[in-house]
Amino acid sequence: MLEITVEAIKGRCPVYRKGDRMVFDGPEIVLEDTDALCTHALSTILHYTTILDEHWIPLELGLTREGDEEHAYLQCADPGQPYTEGGTVIFCCRQVKGGD
């Protein structure tokens, strides 16, 4: 399973708040453990959920730095100001065992 939490928001996001989380169990989004979903974020996140769930290699994928291999970092596709009225959300992803 993967838990993805909102690490930071640059600008204004109408969907997420810092600390919100999404939980993925294989191909399933665990809705009862998920605070919010946004199509801007899912367009990026879904590229990584399957590979990270099956083969945890965030350093090889360039999604973290040495010394922080327990996390992967992603961001939504909304560029924020001055290009849009929204903002960019930074997500922190980690593997969790079922029921954690």
**Residue 19 is encoded by which pair of tokens?**
């600390």
With 0-12 CB in 10 A as exposed, 13-18 as middle and 19+ as buried, what is 60?
A: exposed
Cα 100 to Cα 98: distance, rounded to the nearest angstrom: 6
How confident is residue 99, by pLDDT bands cut at 50, 70 and 90? low
Quote the pLDDT of residue 97.
84
Note the pLDDT tens digit of each residue in 29-78.
999 999 999 988 998 899 899 899 989 999 999 999 999 999 999 999 88
* Residue 98 CB coordination number (10 Å): 7
The answer to whether the beta carbons of residues 2 and 96 sit under 8 Å apart is: yes
Average pLDDT, the chain: 93
Whether omega before 82 lies within 30 degrees of 0, making that bond cis, reads yes
Flag the least confident range among 17-21, 36-40, 54-58, 94-98.
94-98
